[in-house]
Chains A and B, each alone.
Chain A
Amino acid sequence: EVQLVESGGILVQPGGSLRLSCAASGFTFSNSWMHWVRQPPGQGLLWVSRINSDGTTTNYADSVKGRFTVSRDNAKNTLYLQMNSLTEDDTAIYYCATAGYYRLDNWGPGTLVTVSS
């Protein structure tokens, strides 16, 4: 069974940095492309980023380009999202998801990031 568990979400001040993790199990992580998606409280889903299986290709939404960096450690079966220069607009639940063929197959339960002074 595919399992994804996000962690690292906390309360952080504007301008701060944070690294989220997504621990994967139940599938061959090193063969899988992965996504990050976020959802501000009470709002809709927003795609954030995608990374290919070996970490050499990444894509980002315009809203986070230059501030967020997605990476992975296939030896640890873990996906990361480094978030810098955070603003209150980045407050959201952050989900990791496995990438099927142009779709998001399996999702973790999410981790809440709150940016506030």
Chain B
Amino acid sequence: QSALTQPASVSGSPGQSITISCTGTSSDVGGYNYVSWYQQHPGKAPKLIIHDVTQRPSGISNRFSGSKSGNTASLTISGLQAEDEADYYCSSYTSSITYVFGTGTKVTVL
């Protein structure tokens, strides 16, 4: 199972919006609405911020939003803040009854 493709890095200024893409295949991202996004700060465990493509868990800021079109899912962070600087990973359920993560994107707040 190949990793989902994400850009290595994305940056933006405070207050701006950024979007991270996550490209898979019809056997994972395109085949199921089971895409999740995780935020990981350095030295910390990942944290779920989006599930089922668009859903935010309780306590997650509404500045985080998700979407999907075909085999590509996207995470948008609006009103970028310094605390958003972290690594972000997408994940999808697959037709092989497994899960696959994305390659990861480092978000830098300028």
Contacts and interface: CB of A to CB of B under 8 A. Distances in A.
Q: Do A and B bind each other?
A: yes
Interface of A: 35, 37, 44-47, 50, 59-62, 95, 100-110
Given A100-B51, A102-B32, A107 B101 contact: no
B72 to A, nearest CB: 18
A44 B91 contact: no
Contacts of A59: 97-98
Contact of B34 (A37, A50, A95, A103): A103
Contact of A103 (B3, B45, B48): B48
Contacts of B40: 45
Would you call the interface of chain A mostly helix, strand, loop, or mixed?
strand
Bin chain B's interface residue count.
20 to 34
Contact of B99 (A35, A62, A108, A110): A35
Contact of A102 (B3, B38, B93): B93
A103 B104 contact: no
Nearest to B46: A107
B21 to A, nearest CB: 15
Contacts of B51: 100-103
A105 to B, nearest CB: 6
Contacts of A103: 34, 36, 48, 51-52, 91
B56 to A, nearest CB: 12
A33 to B, nearest CB: 12
A107 B45 CA distance: 6
Contacts of A108: 45
